[in-house]
Amino acid sequence: MGKYYIYSIIIIFLSFFLASCDSKPKLNIYGDIPTNTIIMDSENLKELINQFQINNLLIVTKDAIAVELSSEYINELNLIYENDKKWNTGSETLPITTNLKDIAFIAVESSYDKYRLALFTQTENQEHITPYQKIKSEYKLVGTSTLNNRSITKYAKKDKKEHILSIKNSSMSDTLLIIHTSGKEKLITRENLLKSIKFHNTHWSLKNTPTDTITIIWDKYPRNSIKDVYTKLKEVNSDNPLMCIFVDGLGVNIIENAKSHNKIGFFEKYNFLSARTVYPPKTKYAYFVVGNPLHLNESDQKMKTIFSNLKLNQVEIIEEEKTYYPSKYPITLNTDKNQNGTKDDEIYHTALNKLSQQDIELLFVHFHSIDDIAHKFGPYSIQTLNQIEYVSNFVFDLTQKWGKDFIIFSDHGLHSVDNYGTHGINLLEDMNTVIANEFK
């Protein structure tokens, strides 16, 4: 038995050793593509072009010569791993500049935008930088050659590295907010950011946290956060009951648009402050702000939510047809009983009935229809404007009849895509939301 055990260990080690000696050709692919992508041959590259809708390729040699070509020409390009263990390219039909020796890597420009870096100011998406743009920015144009109507652009490495971010700009604040794809936030001085931001060919990170990708750099970020709702919930007790009204999808952009069209309705009664939401800007993450969104596991009933750590007895949660989180407190679900196309009137009536309930400590009401309508017709559509006005009646009536402390907040805004609306990415429209408090 023991002998076989030792033999099998030796075999395992031997196979590891052989695997590491094996010099199978590998070429790194950088840019807008998942980290650690490699290809073994030109067929792999063609597969990637289809899979990630790659438009352009930047082929970079170890001598820091780069050539950019459209992925349309991929079938005319020979990418060969030569006997001298170097990757070379050549072509019969493309300009001679595509004949490259000793390629270091290929960068790709694609629709894969998971790791593009956003730079927000208070009011706009100032920049979105893709890893491909960042790589290309390190090269200067040498010239363009054309053959058979096919144009290829040649580049050479710039002598000096440029910081692609405009954060040298003096109008920027001294302190910036960094948001990671894990949802973690970090405040950093402009100076430290310039020193510690690191580019990894497919994504950015801070030097001391290399595995946590940066997705947003936010200048003049909103000081309020929807995480403040959680802090406030923890202060609730029977002497200080709270009504918390969650108006889904009511982002700063959506509320500003409603104001400018005189469709703000009773929402004009509240002092809405801009607030940053959690990343990614989606409803379920708003419920899990106390956890680490990256490790969110919806089937985990022990997953902490904004309600998990509360030590209250009388809590009422009012939701639409389904919930996305476990709760130790009762949740009243609502369907569109009168089939008028929205559940928010049913939610309002359910909430109204709970108002008279004795000893209620926390009443949490989630209106969902503005988000639904904005998804369907677009965040700036007339339908969304009408829905904002409509829902504002319910919210105002509830806060009036409640007469005690309340918070109104939203989980995210939406951005337009064609005629629709969506959210969940690093756009200011998605990330910038609102919060209003009234504490008596």
> What is the binding site for Zn ion (CB under 5 A)?
248, 283, 371, 411
CB of 317 vs Zn ion, minimal distance in Å? 16
Q: Toward Zn ion, which CB reaches closer, 109 or 411? A: 411
Q: Toward Zn ion, which CB reaches closer, 221 or 285? A: 285
Determine the Cα–Cα distance for residues 123 and 85; give it in Å rounded to an integer: 52
Closest residue to Zn ion: CB criterion: 283
Determine the Cα–Cα distance for residues 321 and 335; give it in Å rounded to an integer: 6
Per-residue HEC secondary structure of the chain comes to: CHHHHHHHHHHHHHHHHHHHHCCCCCEEEEECCCCCEEECCHHHHHHHHHHCCCCEEEEEECCCEEEEEEHHHHHHCEEEECCCCCEEEECCCCCHHHCECCEEEEEEECCCCCCCEEEECCCCEEEEECHHHHHHCCEEEEEEEEECCEEEEEEEECCCCCCCCCCCCCCCCCEEEEEECCCCEEEEEHHHHHHHEEECCCCEEECCEEEEEEEEEECCCCCEECHHHHHHHCCCECCECEEEEEECCCEHHHHHHHHHCCCCHHHHHCCCEEEECCCCCCHHHHHCCCCCHHHCCCCCCCCCCCCCCCCCCCEEEECCCCCCCCCCCCEECCCCCCCCCCCHHHHHHHHHHHHCCCCCCEEEEEECHHHHHHHHHCCCCHHHHHHHHHHHHHHHHHHHHHCCCEEEECCCCCEEECCEEECCCCCHHHHEEEEEEECC
Q: Toward Zn ion, which CB reaches closer, 100 or 289? A: 289
CB of 421 vs Zn ion, minimal distance in Å? 8
The answer to whether the beta carbons of residues 412 and 203 sit under 8 Å apart is no
Q: Toward Zn ion, which CB reaches closer, 153 or 283? A: 283
Which candidate, 401, 440, 437, places its Cα nearest to that of 229?
437
Rounded to the nearest 5°, which phi and psi values hold at 321? Answer: -65, -30
Q: Toward Zn ion, which CB reaches closer, 222 or 379? A: 379
CB of 306 vs Zn ion, minimal distance in Å? 14
Q: Toward Zn ion, which CB reaches closer, 354 or 366? A: 366
Q: Toward Zn ion, which CB reaches closer, 139 or 267? A: 267
Q: Toward Zn ion, which CB reaches closer, 67 or 428? A: 428
How far apart, in Å, do the first and last CA atoms of the chain sit?
A: 77
CA distances from 133 to 110, 139, 316 (A): 11, 10, 50
CB of 341 vs Zn ion, minimal distance in Å? 17
CB of 222 vs Zn ion, minimal distance in Å? 18
For residue 242, the cross-strand partners are 362
Q: Toward Zn ion, which CB reaches closer, 110 or 224? A: 224
Q: Toward Zn ion, which CB reaches closer, 58 or 388? A: 388
Token pair of 212 as six digits = 């946590």
Q: Toward Zn ion, which CB reaches closer, 81 or 288? A: 288
